[in-house]
Amino acid sequence: MLFFPNAKINIGLNILNRRDDGFHDIETLMIPVGLCDSLEFIKAKEFLFSSSGIVLDVNSANNICTKAYEILKKSYPLTLLSMHLHKAIPTGAGLGGGSADAAFLLKNLNNYFNLNISNIELQNFAKVLGSDCPFFIKNKPSLAFGRGEILETFDIDLSNYKIVIVHLGIHVNTAWAYKNSKPDSSRSTLKSILTSQPIANWKNTIYNDFENIIFPLYPEIKELKDKMYNLGAIYASMTGSGSAVFGIFEENKIDFTEHFSCFVWQGKTIN
């Protein structure tokens, strides 16, 4: 079975407070985008995991796909599989690629073995693997709360815009970024801004709190965001804990590949 886990971007990311369990409460809007990995599995005589494309910084036993298979196998009679992941979504970029791989694997194992696991149950399995993983079970634009696992589907239409995603090859450690964050729960909620203001206002009202931590350390990421605005972006931001940056552009004749090594996506709903 072959499938294509897609990335996500975050529009706004408010870090609200530190929790007693070591995590942070956040508020963010996550939107699936068309940049994809490819993941395939077949039945085998022994469990195997291999990968190609972007080099992963973990061995096969600790890869999140292996963990997703093992967590499901504890509750359901899965046969042994050989899996291959071709990695195209940059790692340490805030694009959720690893989380997507794990969530899509859970969904497709459910279908392949006719396990009849509900989406709610799949999300419960997914949240053990990572805070972003439950989002990719439904894979629809969603407001995320808690540590990212509490989801509320949000109706947003970006089909008239182009989303340009650029990654400079800088790897940001999410745990480090959260550790150095300064939570603030006193602001207007992201939901209230999104439901009351047009995209043209987002530049001055919607922020990613991780930028305050990452930009001083990597000024080239801020320069990239500034360049997107200079090229006419309506809104630009780092996504997640970084380091990828995206810009939302109206339809225009800019050849973005002249300015960036980038992925350009027409903002249509992912099916």
Helix orientation angle between 119-129 and 64-73, rounded to the nearest 10 degrees: 130
Pair 262, 166: CB distance under 8 Å: yes
3-class DSSP state of 239: coil
Q: What is the DSSP letter of 62?
A: G
Structure-token pair, residue 154? 């949000």
Cis peptide before 243 (omega within 30 of 0): yes
Q: What is the DSSP letter of 257?
A: G
Strands 142-145 and 2-3: unpaired
> Which residues, including other chains, have CB under 8 Å from residue 145's CB and lie 6 or more apart?
25, 26, 27, 151, 152
3-state secondary structure 170-184: CCCCHHHHHHCCCCC
162 is catalytic: no
The amino acid sitting at 101 is: D
**Could you give the CA distance from residue 261 to residue 55 in angstroms, rounded to a whole number?**
19
Helix orientation angle between 97-112 and 64-73, rounded to the nearest 10 degrees: 30
DSSP H helical ranges for the chain: 64-73, 97-112, 119-129, 135-138, 174-179, 190-196, 199-202, 211-217, 219-230
DSSP H helical ranges for 130-232: 135-138, 174-179, 190-196, 199-202, 211-217, 219-230
132 is catalytic: yes
Point out the catalytic residue in the list 37, 101, 132, 209: 132
Provide the annotated active-site residues.
8, 132
